[in-house]
Amino acid sequence: MKTIDSLGDLRGKRVLVRSDFNVPLDGTTITDDGRIRAALPTLTRLADAGARVVVLAHLGRPKGAPDPQYSLAPVAARLGELLGQDVPLAQDLVGPSAKATVDALADGQVALLENVRFDARETSKVDAERAELAGELAQFADAFVSDGFGVVHRKQASVYDIAQVLPAAAGDLVLNEVESLSKATGDPERPYAVVLGGSKVSDKLGVIANLLTKADRLLIGGGMVFTFLAAKGLSVGNSLLENDQIETVKGYLATAESNGVEIVLPVDIVAADSFAADAAHRVVAADAIPDGTMGLDIGPESGKLFAGKLADAKTIAWNGPMGVFEFEAFADGTKAVAQGIIEATTAGGFSIVGGGDSAAAVRVLGFDEAGFSHISTGGGASLELLEGKELPGLTVLAD
Ligand SMILES: Nc1ncnc2c1ncn2[C@@H]1O[C@H](COP(=O)(O)OP(=O)(O)OP(=O)(O)O)[C@@H](O)[C@H]1O
Ligand SMILES: O=C(O)[C@H](O)COP(=O)(O)O
């Protein structure tokens, strides 16, 4: 991939940087700033080189129009604190405020444009619409640096199309992630265990097909569980469920069996009366989830089962928390898996944690990041790389 060095002398040049600042928020409070910290080496390097740095980022999944709950204002404030300089936030993406913000930048200064997903063209499936937005963004810049590793699997205007209209390079975070993850992409040391959880169920179900040809064991937790249990004919109450994926999952279960891949499902579930921190809850067998309740964590027996399946693994990839770890009552499954991975890593395994919330869970629950071989800023991006897919945001940076 092309590197920042290939862009030449950047003093006085306007450099657009795509970062991944999709951080977890509680209201307007950032509960884990790991993704912002991970962006600092590239931003500091560009600022130190005298560039005028204009950062593009998204937050959440707004519907292609401005939506105050997804404003990047909290990110601009935190980025400013971490960089030790005021980071102005333009009120729009390609409008008068963005233009004025970029025009006002001095050499070595960093500014942020408002959420790229407030413009429907960013995520459009129509090439010409994305290209049009990329063309408008390009007017603000002399070069583009792609450093949002967590979005390189997205064929979006600020990730993919922009790299075709400006001199483009990979930032240090993207290079570092690709190098670290490459240890698990080619010929991973076995047994190779993949732990999947979280709530982006349909996104992650998609990666399973490929993982069934690569991994030895798939451990399923989090919101993923219930589509699997339903595929086995079990009732899941009000738990997160992708009804239209049940047939696909039945196919995965059959393929796993014929490929000799072990799919490990929880044997018990923490079932709650509602989605709330103080919801009444009890541990039930996975085949006896009461009607009217929702599974918000894997149960204690499942935690032990999963840790046991990880103990001898030589390569481990983990994406997605095992439960709603943000609520203390539903964090134990995630803790058990994190602990199991740390022990397997200490015993000589190579472990990767991927995903905004999974990485946040490791830090928020008090685990030592050094216990894992690599904590990736990418969730879907790291999974797709591990699947062996070509990622549009990387291929477009090819030298
Ligand atoms: N059983 C469950 N029901 C509902 N939500 C769940 C359940 N288990 C986990 N979650 C939620 O899943 C969320 C994280 O899911 P997500 O798929 O976004 O993972 P991630 O690690 O952030 O990966 P990515 O970076 O790809 O988004 C957490 O906020 C957690 O509360
Ligand atoms: O959180 C992530 O994994 C990245 O920021 C990508 O977000 P997306 O899944 O909404 O594209």
Could you tell me if the CB of 379 is within 6 A of ligand 2? yes
| Residue with CA nearest ligand 1 atom 2 | 223
**What's the CA gap between 170 and 145, in Å, rounded?**
6
Give distance in angstroms: CA of 148 to centre of ligand 2. Answer: 10
**Pick from 316, 318, 265: nearest CA to 295:** 265
Binding residues for substrate: 20-22, 35, 58-61, 117, 154
DSSP 158: I
| Residue with CA nearest ligand 1 atom 30 | 324
| Residue with CA nearest ligand 1 atom 4 | 223
Q: Which atom from ligand 2 is nearest to the alpha carbon of 379?
A: 3
Backbone dihedral angles phi then psi of residue 6, each to the nearest 5 degrees: -70, -10
| Residue with CA nearest ligand 1 atom 31 | 324
Is 366 a catalytic site residue? no
Question: Are residues 140 and 13 in contact, defined by beta-carbon separation less than 8 angstroms?
Answer: no
Largest CA distance in the chain: 65
Q: Which ligand is nearest to the CA of 225?
A: 1
Is 380 a catalytic site residue? yes
**What's the CA gap between 197 and 219, in Å, rounded?**
9
Residues with CB under 6 A from ligand 1: 197-200, 222-223, 240, 295-296, 319-321, 323-324, 326, 355-358, 379-380
DSSP 3: B
Could you tell me if the CB of 11 is within 6 A of ligand 2? no
pLDDT 10s digit of each residue in the chain, 399 long?
999 999 999 999 999 999 999 999 999 999 999 999 999 999 999 999 999 999 999 999 999 999 999 999 999 999 999 999 999 999 999 999 999 999 999 999 999 999 999 999 999 999 999 999 999 999 999 999 999 999 999 999 999 999 999 999 999 999 999 999 988 887 899 999 999 999 988 888 888 988 898 999 999 999 999 999 999 999 999 999 999 999 999 999 999 999 999 999 999 999 999 999 999 999 999 999 999 999 999 999 999 999 999 999 999 999 999 999 999 999 999 999 999 999 999 999 999 999 888 998 999 999 999 999 999 999 989 989 988 889 999 999 998
| Residue with CA nearest ligand 2 atom 9 | 380
| Residue with CA nearest ligand 2 atom 5 | 22
Q: Is 63 helix (H, G, I), strand (E, B) or coil?
A: coil
Question: Are residues 20 and 116 in contact, defined by beta-carbon separation less than 8 angstroms?
Answer: no
Residues 396, 374, 203, CA angle at the centre, nearest 5°?
A: 55
Q: Which atom from ligand 1 is nearest to the alpha carbon of 380?
A: 26
Is 35 a catalytic site residue? yes
**What's the CA gap between 369 and 36, in Å, rounded?**
16
Reported as half-sphere exposure (CB side, CA atoms, 13 A), residue 224 has a value of 27
Q: Which helix (H) or strand (E) holds 187?
A: none
Distances (CA, A) of 125 to 122, 128, 129, 157, 317: 9, 9, 8, 10, 30
Is 217 a catalytic site residue? no
Q: Exposure of 96 by Cβ count < 10 A (0-12 exposed, 13-18 middle, 19+ buried)?
A: exposed
State pTM to two decimals: 0.89
Contacts of 120 (CB under 8 A, 6+ apart): 63, 64, 65, 129
Q: pLDDT at position 202, please?
A: 86
**Residue of 13, 14, 130, 200 marked active site:** 200
Could you tell me if the CB of 150 is within 6 A of ligand 2? yes
**Beta strand pairing status for 168-170 and 143-146?**
parallel
**Pick from 76, 311, 358, 144: nearest CA to 217:** 311
- For a ligand 1 pocket test, name from 205, 324, 332 the mutation site with the most ligand atoms within 8 angstroms of its C-beta: 324
Query: If you write DSSP's letter for every residue of 233-277 in order, what string do you get?
Result: T---TTS---GGGHHHHHHHHHHHHHHTPEEE--SEEEEESSSST
Q: pLDDT at position 114, please?
A: 98
Give distance in angstroms: CA of 57 to centre of ligand 2. Answer: 11
Q: pLDDT at position 343, please?
A: 98
